[in-house]
Structure 1
């Protein structure tokens, strides 16, 4: 089999591939809104039918909420599991869209042609890059390049409540040599990336209560403890002067950055000034002995996401509030234990609450970081294959956000994941007027063809 023949078929079939993507984009599969449950099922059924047309043994699998799509195809060589999600974010505020979010269109922009629709980038366009690569192999050779399991979820945008139970119940069926995930992006317009680090996430809500009711500040100010004063003092001490989090034990399990990876990151030419300048800032605020790229990809953080307390309406009201609360999140790396950090953080807060006040906590998730074993030969094979398709050499990168499914593949299926996607920073995912570059879609299909060929 000639890879060139498969790539030529991809090029020739791009108009048809784009129309198939448009068909899927027309389905408003919003997983968070119960009234769209029939549309989520319709998207899943569309995928089952499409995979079946390529010789995949595909089926719809029920869950308590939206169905999964699972498909299998035999082949020689390694066994890969491909994961994507067919559900999309809500479209609100609808008035900020330039067109119907579920009426996809091709548009010409000053940066090239783009596909405009909800889900174009997150994640239907990305998902279809892999499926179209498989379609080209099947059409050209009559078979798939290797053994593939397709695993397509319908609840990613609503917290994946069915994912862990489904993985545990179907672990033997879903296990493979390596997982492929298509929910990430390029480093820049010309540089593809394989994400090898994902930060974990820990969320905590703190509520400080003082008096049994709001108090008049003229009568009680100075004599009564103000919960906002207590809360802001605690939060203000979360970091030291160098930007490090002061919670005891917070840095346990944080690894040093591999020198080879550091050198590769330095070669990416990341423009720190432009990164902050693009949002009206200039001075890095985190750990002062780390570069912004290190802080985003390989260092843990503690951030205050919101504070509530007292009177916040129009005008002025002189009260000492009875309660004040804050939402705090921690991004985690390496072997940091989110549960141990939660308990340490709570103990640290409790020691600073005065006798006249009490503190309550509410947990909001706790997922560890994921670090992929890049010594697995598939990683370098994929990196070299990507480098042949794009103008710049592919890089191993980190990701500031959290993609829990990669960690679940490791903890439940004992399987590393390669996160490879072709989205761009300006795709406006989760926002009005979401788009996916036609180049990302086209090169994405060709990239997966090259990767599958390299893995066999």
Structure 2
């Protein structure tokens, strides 16, 4: 019996135990963006420390940062073999609107071979798989085929503000030959993909202030600027009727899409009708001249994530609110720069600010776009491991989402980054009813095990 067969038998025998462990991890409400969950986030870091120690990893520590801590572990007993640095995150997104969850977000449930909970797919479930694979190899073999290091942070969902400093200060500790991250998705059910490019991120909040307090809409309506109207005007000015961003200079630095990339994306046989059905929409919408995949992978976007202001409770309250606002994020592509885009957003808002109100703009998440050659040996090795388990060819894609630290890893450590994810775009990460297909949990454990053996040959 070879090692892959031993791993397969081990994972079958321990599947329910592993799922129970993952459920205990998912019960921790580690929402990094909400101060009320600060202790929960710390609890998740402590859970990980214990899990890494139980798995047989060494030098396990909870390393403090200016925000939520980083969990580190390693196993460095394979002299002459490459060192693989595994990155993941234990923090999760907020869960509202809570009433749309079919089961409580931090009470994991399995339905139709899918595990439902906040963090199931993004990213607790995928990070957990790497820990369990290392544990399996150590229990079966007493050793790993490569040296391994783990760095698992608690601030990815708020843009990893403190991780670059941590990486800069610990470059020697984090020295490796390649970085593996499972925080991306597959091309579709049964269709594995290695991601070679991520969009960057630039986020702002617009706060519009009108009168010093809420006003009676009967006494003052029609004579005083309504901050909600002002926010609506600003938001409407960001796009034309086809969805093209109207901010001056927004597209100036966008790297043109290569013909061979467009051809490769067409050859993926992406089923737009199936995607629309899965999303519950009747039509796709966006920048003219680009396909659905091109708009979501290689074109920049500006999205309104939330609008707030005034009265939203039951019934009617006849007021002109004192203030209103909107939250905005832009997904960026090579060679756009977050600070440059934010400066252009500021100029646009100033130019389109209606009379009678003032505006304050607050900067939030920032992340640089990332792209790496998909013919790199470490990336091609990942493709081979997928193919052995899924028995279909691996595709090489870009991804519309952002993992801000990836570009920072590239800048600070100068290592190839292998993005081998097991999630699906339909799994509602960042939304109610987030879930993880357990078929990919099961196969993913085997893919990771095989990849560590492949990496040992690099």
TM-score normalized by the length of structure 1:
0.85
Match of 1:43 in 2: 47
Distance in 1 (CA, whole Å) between partners of 2:401 and 2:236 is: 24
Instruction: Deviation per CA, 1:325-366: give whole Å up to 9, x if none.
Output: 222221111121111111122112212335544322122222
For residue 206 of structure 1, give the secondary structure of its aligned residue in structure 2. strand
The reply on whether 1:73 has 2:72 as its aligned counterpart is no
Call closer, same or farther: CA 1:132–1:45 in 2, change over 3 Å: closer
Instruction: Give the drift of 1:170.
Output: 0.7
Match of 1:448 in 2: 448
Distance in 2 (CA, whole Å) between partners of 1:354 and 1:13 is: 65
For residue 167 of structure 1, give the secondary structure of its aligned residue in structure 2. helix
Match of 2:326 in 1: 326
For residue 26 of structure 1, give the secondary structure of its aligned residue in structure 2. helix
Match of 1:26 in 2: 24
Instruction: Deviation per CA, 1:409-445: give whole Å up to 9, x if none.
Output: 1233222321112123454546676554443222112
Match of 1:295 in 2: 295
Call closer, same or farther: CA 1:42–1:391 in 2, change over 3 Å: same
Counterparts in 2 of 1:150-161, with a 5 A limit?
Answer: 150-156=150-156, 160=160
Match of 1:6 in 2: 3
Contact 2:225–2:355 under 8 Å retained in 1: no
Call closer, same or farther: CA 1:66–1:338 in 2, change over 3 Å: closer
Match of 2:34 in 1: none
Counterparts in 2 of 1:171-210, with a 5 A limit?
Answer: 171-210=171-210
Q: Which segment drifts farther, 162-171 or 117-126?
A: 117-126
Q: Which segment drifts farther, 400-409 or 221-230?
A: 221-230
For residue 254 of structure 1, give the secondary structure of its aligned residue in structure 2. coil
Instruction: Deviation per CA, 1:163-205: give whole Å up to 9, x if none.
Output: 2332122112113222100122221111111122222222222
TM-score normalized by the length of structure 2:
0.84
Distance in 1 (CA, whole Å) between partners of 2:218 and 2:269 is: 57
Contact 1:24–1:43 under 8 Å retained in 2: no
Instruction: Deviation per CA, 1:133-184: give whole Å up to 9, x if none.
Output: 4445445554322232222334445664542332122112113222100122
Contact 1:31–1:66 under 8 Å retained in 2: no
Call closer, same or farther: CA 1:208–1:26 in 2, change over 3 Å: closer
Call closer, same or farther: CA 1:253–1:74 in 2, change over 3 Å: farther
Match of 1:396 in 2: 396
Contact 2:248–2:348 under 8 Å retained in 1: yes
Match of 1:286 in 2: 286
Q: Which segment drifts farther, 176-185 or 156-165?
A: 156-165
Match of 1:266 in 2: 266
Contact 1:129–1:442 under 8 Å retained in 2: no
In structure 2, stretches of 5+ residues that fail to align are 32-36
Distance in 2 (CA, whole Å) between partners of 1:385 and 1:335 is: 31
Contact 1:24–1:46 under 8 Å retained in 2: no
Match of 1:234 in 2: 234
Match of 2:62 in 1: 61
Contact 1:215–1:322 under 8 Å retained in 2: yes
Call closer, same or farther: CA 1:359–1:429 in 2, change over 3 Å: closer
Contact 2:55–2:132 under 8 Å retained in 1: no
Contact 1:51–1:71 under 8 Å retained in 2: no
Instruction: Give the drift of 1:315.
Output: 4.7
Q: Which segment drifts farther, 220-229 or 92-101?
A: 92-101
Match of 1:410 in 2: 410
Contact 1:197–1:371 under 8 Å retained in 2: yes
Match of 1:368 in 2: 368
For residue 251 of structure 1, give the secondary structure of its aligned residue in structure 2. coil
Counterparts in 2 of 1:80-229, with a 5 A limit?
Answer: 80-87=84-91, 93=98, 101=106, 109=112, 113-115=113-115, 119-138=119-138, 141-156=141-156, 160=160, 162-214=162-214, 224-229=224-229
Instruction: Give the drift of 1:294.
Output: 0.9
Instruction: Give the drift of 1:47.
Output: 2.4
Instruction: Deviation per CA, 1:356-388: give whole Å up to 9, x if none.
Output: 443221222222222223242211222233223
Instruction: Give the drift of 1:272.
Output: 1.8
Call closer, same or farther: CA 1:317–1:182 in 2, change over 3 Å: closer
Distance in 2 (CA, whole Å) between partners of 1:156 and 1:371 is: 19
Tell which structure's C-alpha radius of gyration is larger.
1
For residue 180 of structure 1, give the secondary structure of its aligned residue in structure 2. strand
For residue 366 of structure 1, give the secondary structure of its aligned residue in structure 2. strand
Call closer, same or farther: CA 1:108–1:366 in 2, change over 3 Å: closer
Distance in 2 (CA, whole Å) between partners of 1:156 and 1:131 is: 19
Call closer, same or farther: CA 1:262–1:387 in 2, change over 3 Å: farther
Contact 1:303–1:330 under 8 Å retained in 2: yes
Instruction: Give the drift of 1:129.
Output: 3.0
In structure 1, stretches of 5+ residues that fail to align are none
Q: Which segment drifts farther, 172-181 or 25-34?
A: 25-34
Call closer, same or farther: CA 1:17–1:426 in 2, change over 3 Å: farther
Q: Which segment drifts farther, 263-272 or 32-41?
A: 32-41
For residue 251 of structure 2, give the secondary structure of its aligned residue in structure 1. coil
Distance in 2 (CA, whole Å) between partners of 1:235 and 1:98 is: 34
